[in-house]
Homo-oligomer: A and B are copies of this chain.
């Protein structure tokens, strides 16, 4: 479908539920909220569904009005697979009417679907929807979209950043988004506890596949008292190491281990994660594995040595 057709559908409905993925990140939160605020400006009701509301995005959550209404149309944003709806899967499975996403690996079988895998973030697509919806973006929408785009590009550092990404960001600054505060909150602020965690992580770093793969891990004990926010950026640590083509971060969660894979050059992270039932982007993907820390690390080392 074309983006103007998506805009026409959105204009024709009145009461929306907007779905985001589990372990919500800046892109799904920012894109979902920006779309909701834009639809509100057209007089429509919206409810954005989150499995979790990480505190560092409070400035976005508070821009979102609470409304009581019966939803008639379900839109998913930045969700590549219904599996990623987490606890909301049982409620919304098979009920997504419109899917807006930028993941190449998107497998959602919605009636209406718009997937642009050239977009660095779902937020880019929402930005491009605004003029088609005839919505003039305000500061709240700009903050939401700036958050979406800056977080999914590592503040314009990752290879998915295009000239379009940068021009959109420039427009968002001109609208008055608070990029200074957002950047500081997202990319610059570390708690003392977080710095200690980094020390511990570096002490337990594992190299494999002749140094082409580096694996770090956090256990529940190591991250006790730390919020998901505070542990989030760590996934970029192992890939940064000279000579490392694939950086793997293993995080012990309640029921399983959450694996984040970041790759350099020609290594396909999505294909690597697919072996474990996961997916994502070519340079950044994820999956979940059940087991003990030892067994999970062993499987990953084995898979990495075979893969690289």
Considering only residues 226-257 of chain A, those with a C-beta below 8 Å from chain B are 236, 239-242
A275 at the A/B interface (Cβ < 8 Å)?
no
Assuming the A-B contacts A166-B167, A166-B173, are A161 and B188 also in contact, with contact meaning beta carbons closer than 8 angstroms in the complex? Answer: no
- What is the distance, in angstroms, from A31's C-beta to the closest C-beta of chain B? 19
Provide the residues of chain B in CB contact with A183, threshold 8 Å: 157-159, 161
Chain A interface residue bracket vs B: 35 or more
Assuming the A-B contacts A192-B241, A198-B202, A202-B198, are A163 and B155 also in contact, with contact meaning beta carbons closer than 8 angstroms in the complex? Answer: no
Assuming the A-B contacts A162-B173, A166-B167, A170-B170, are A189 and B155 also in contact, with contact meaning beta carbons closer than 8 angstroms in the complex? Answer: no
20 A-B pairs (CB sep. < 8 Å): A154-B155, A155-B155, A155-B157, A157-B183, A159-B180, A159-B183, A159-B184, A163-B170, A163-B171, A163-B174, A164-B170, A166-B166, A166-B167, A170-B170, A184-B264, A188-B236, A189-B242, A191-B242, A195-B202, A196-B202
Q: Is the CB of A241 within 8 A of B195?
A: yes
The quantity of this chain's copies bound in the complex is 2
Assuming the A-B contacts A195-B241, A264-B184, are A161 and B190 also in contact, with contact meaning beta carbons closer than 8 angstroms in the complex? Answer: no
Provide the residues of chain B in CB contact with A162, threshold 8 Å: 173
Which 8 pairs, one residue from A and one from B, show the smallest C-beta to C-beta distance? A166-B170, A163-B173, A163-B170, A159-B180, A155-B157, A167-B170, A156-B156, A191-B242
Q: Is the CB of A242 within 8 A of B156?
A: no
A199 at the A/B interface (Cβ < 8 Å)?
yes
Q: Is the CB of B157 within 8 A of A189?
A: no
Provide the residues of chain B in CB contact with A190, threshold 8 Å: 240-242
A187 at the A/B interface (Cβ < 8 Å)?
yes
Bound-state Cα–Cα, A161 to B150, Å = 13
A203 at the A/B interface (Cβ < 8 Å)?
yes
A179 at the A/B interface (Cβ < 8 Å)?
yes
- What is the distance, in angstroms, from A50's C-beta to the closest C-beta of chain B? 24
- What is the distance, in angstroms, from A227's C-beta to the closest C-beta of chain B? 12
